[in-house]
Structure 1
Amino acid sequence: MPLAPEIQQFILGFKDRWDGSVNTACQDFFEALHLSIGPLNPDHTIKYEKNVKYGPDPRHRLDVFWPADATSTNAALPVVVYFHGGAFKLGDNSITPHMHANIGRFFASQGMIGVLGTYRLLPEARFPDGQDDIASALSWLHDKVHQYGGNRNAIFALGQSAGGGHLAMALFSGNLKSDQGQSLVRGVLLLSAALKYDLSKKGRRESMEEYYGTTDHSLIQSRSAYGILQDLPPFEDADVASVPTPELFLMLAEWDFEECVQGNLDFARLYAERRRRLPRFEVLPGHNHVSYALSIGLPGDEVGPKIADWVRQCSEGASS
């Protein structure tokens, strides 16, 4: 069952237009929808803990959602961690009363541990704060998620937009490993991720110059996720221990904006050159840059179940 016709029409009204007003309109629209349908799966009891600290900064926070019986039954459940977007300067685990809690609750309702993670933002943040924060959050979960019934060897990191950019930078910089050299994640899903920047656009240029602390655009691009991947040796020449091992999945919306689309296509092409295979890549029909995330848990949502199925497939054989 697809999303309701009124939701599809709302998204189609914007197509690939993207700016702050569209983002706000989407948040208001989907918040009202979540409010109208009431609790997700009311027969499935979910517990949660908000503002769990994973580091010293006020932005080092996680919201954790889990099935009520997970810890009492010594479960070892897959863990899905969502890092929000916001153009390196906005966003949080809670942007409205129901979002992004809709994501944490959905995965908990699927018998998983749902986690929302935030990180330092502009104007305080500077490269590589975002990727360092994501690595720290995942390291904390690797050590602590068993307390909620989670399996440390079945952690899946999802990064949307700017959060996806930070996640990809952390992955390809080799930062998603434990002190023992073990991968902190079993899978990485990049959702409309900021992998490469169009610095001809004034707003993007100013933010990236501030975040990277330079006006040298070639240096900025070299430190993007695309640039970091570009500097890695081809797979056959690389030390196996240094090659990222998690399953990689890229998702784009049909109505994503041009910079995001082009950056992801360029990234997928480069990945194929470096790794001699394409990453899994999927386009979400009928969605824009944020609608697929904000609609998770609504009747007719197909994206949440798609991600949950991917997690289950990748989790097969994971040891606790």
Structure 2
Amino acid sequence: MSNLRVRMGALLTGALMALLITKPAMAQVDRLPPDLQETLARIGPVFQRDIGTHIPATLAAFQSVLRSAPRDGVSVTADQHYGPDPKQVLDVYQPASRQDAPILIYVHGGAYVTGDKNAYGEVYANIGWWFARQGIVTLNATYRLAPASPWPGAVQDVRAMVAWARENAVRLGADPNRIFLMGHSAGATHVASYIFDRALQPADGPGVAGAVLISGRYRLDYDPADPNGRNMQAYFGDDPAQYPNRSPITHIRDGAKVPVFLVVTEYDNPGLDVRGAELLFALCERDSACPRFLRLIGHNHLSEVAAFNTPDEQLGREVLGFMSLGR
């Protein structure tokens, strides 16, 4: 057995022992309304067979519970421009009477070619409502999309979001040294590119205290069976020779060691759970210690973010723990 395999075995054994000792939080899907639980249970095992049908079905199932979700103690300032492009806007969710609060910037998904901070009805707004209710200044941002803005346009926008947050932190009652990024799907890819690739950061580094990466693509390859393969090419280009340098995982040894929390789901988009596991191993190997990791049982690729501000608080509480501990 090679030294790499020995080391991999030791790292994974250590990670398993840590999980056994800490007893990770149980899934909280059973706290959702019965009809929503039934929908998730029915869609989950077949989610990957037809994501074009099952994604909108999942989102539609959450709308009722999200419309009635609590919004107390939060003020919202919409459409703040962090850049000159019409897509470079964000909404600020601000807790009442809070000073030196952390800042969480949410970067949505959309397979690189679609998406908006106001997409999917109540879904992304409720991320802002929930975290602000926990005392976190939350920014829900839109960014430029392919094909009009190919690589690295979206990463440049993440950089601009962070710069805006730092410049406005004190005005918002927040701490400019406690900025966290949270990206989902394509948004996780863009966040990972920003925190790992030094060439895409300011000269003084990424300027964030941590990053939550939820079901992203971290190594690029084109698979004709992947329903989002062509969308990936629309952003990253169709030249495979460019993919290694444009893959976030390529750069983890060269950049600043930003604390990371990795999340996948039981029923994820094709291949994204594998990519999350691959990045987990690469970070475990780099640091000789594994980052926070969570596999959400009972959830699919969209329900994991749609569940914020519902009775299922598992992922939200894990993110708060990560932000509090820095690991």
Q: TM-score range by the shorter chain?
A: 0.7 to 0.9
Answer yes or no: is 1:314 the counterpart of 2:314: no
Q: CA deviation at 1:20?
A: 2.1
Answer yes or no: is 1:189 the counterpart of 2:189: no
Q: Is the 8 A contact 2:180 2:323 kept in 1?
A: yes
Does the C-alpha gap of structure 1 residues 175 and 138 become closer, same or farther in structure 2, counting only changes over 3 Å? farther
Q: Is the 8 A contact 2:149 2:235 kept in 1?
A: yes
Match of 1:204 in 2: 228
The amino acid of 2:35's aligned partner reads E
Q: How does 1:118-197 map to 2 (within 5 A)?
A: 118-174=142-198, 181=204, 183-197=206-220
Gaps of 5+ in 1: 234-242, 316-320
SS in 2 for 1:156: strand
The amino acid of 1:22's aligned partner reads H
Q: Is the 8 A contact 1:164 1:193 kept in 2?
A: yes
Answer yes or no: is 1:53 the counterpart of 2:81: yes
Q: How does 1:268-283 map to 2 (within 5 A)?
A: 268-283=280-295
SS in 2 for 1:206: helix
Q: How does 1:250-265 map to 2 (within 5 A)?
A: 250-265=262-277
The amino acid of 1:168's aligned partner reads A
Does the C-alpha gap of structure 1 residues 302 and 272 become closer, same or farther in structure 2, counting only changes over 3 Å? closer
Answer yes or no: is 1:290 the counterpart of 2:302: yes
SS in 1 for 2:235: helix
The amino acid of 1:6's aligned partner reads D
Q: How does 1:99-118 map to 2 (within 5 A)?
A: 99-118=123-142
Answer yes or no: is 1:220 the counterpart of 2:246: no
Q: Is the 8 A contact 1:84 1:159 kept in 2?
A: yes
1:211-236 residue CA offsets vs partner (Å, 9 max, x unmatched): 223x322422431212333xx45xxx
- The CA distance in 1 between the partners of 2:241 and 2:288, in whole Å, is 26
Match of 1:91 in 2: 115
Q: How does 1:33-44 map to 2 (within 5 A)?
A: 33-35=65-67, 38-40=68-70, 44=72
Q: Is the 8 A contact 1:193 1:260 kept in 2?
A: yes
The amino acid of 1:95's aligned partner reads A
Q: Is the 8 A contact 1:79 1:112 kept in 2?
A: yes
Q: CA deviation at 1:125?
A: 1.4
The amino acid of 2:70's aligned partner reads L
Identity of counterpart residues, as a percentage? 27
- The CA distance in 2 between the partners of 1:176 and 1:227, in whole Å, is 13
The amino acid of 1:10's aligned partner reads T
Q: Is the 8 A contact 1:102 1:296 kept in 2?
A: yes
Q: Is the 8 A contact 1:34 1:298 kept in 2?
A: yes
Gaps of 5+ in 2: 1-27
Q: CA deviation at 1:106?
A: 0.5
1:6-55 residue CA offsets vs partner (Å, 9 max, x unmatched): 323211212252422211112211112212xx2415xx321011111000
Q: Is the 8 A contact 2:194 2:206 kept in 1?
A: no
The amino acid of 2:87's aligned partner reads R
Equivalenced residue count is: 294
SS in 1 for 2:86: coil
The amino acid of 1:269's aligned partner reads F
1:38-91 residue CA offsets vs partner (Å, 9 max, x unmatched): 2415xx321011111000111111111011323xxxx11011111011100111
Answer yes or no: is 1:266 the counterpart of 2:278: yes
Does the C-alpha gap of structure 1 residues 175 and 61 become closer, same or farther in structure 2, counting only changes over 3 Å? farther
- The CA distance in 1 between the partners of 2:228 and 2:296, in whole Å, is 25
TM-score, structure 1 normalization: 0.85
- Of 9, 12, 37, the residue aligned with 2:41 is 12
Q: CA deviation at 1:258?
A: 3.5
Q: CA deviation at 1:104?
A: 0.3
- The CA distance in 2 between the partners of 1:313 and 1:272, in whole Å, is 18
Does the C-alpha gap of structure 1 residues 197 and 14 become closer, same or farther in structure 2, counting only changes over 3 Å? farther
Q: CA deviation at 1:192?
A: 0.7
SS in 1 for 2:198: coil
The amino acid of 2:90's aligned partner reads L
Q: Is the 8 A contact 2:261 2:322 kept in 1?
A: no
- The CA distance in 2 between the partners of 1:265 and 1:39, in whole Å, is 33
Over 4 Å off, 4+ runs: 175-179
Answer yes or no: is 1:69 the counterpart of 2:93: no
Match of 2:12 in 1: none
Q: CA deviation at 1:311?
A: 1.6
TM-score, structure 2 normalization: 0.83
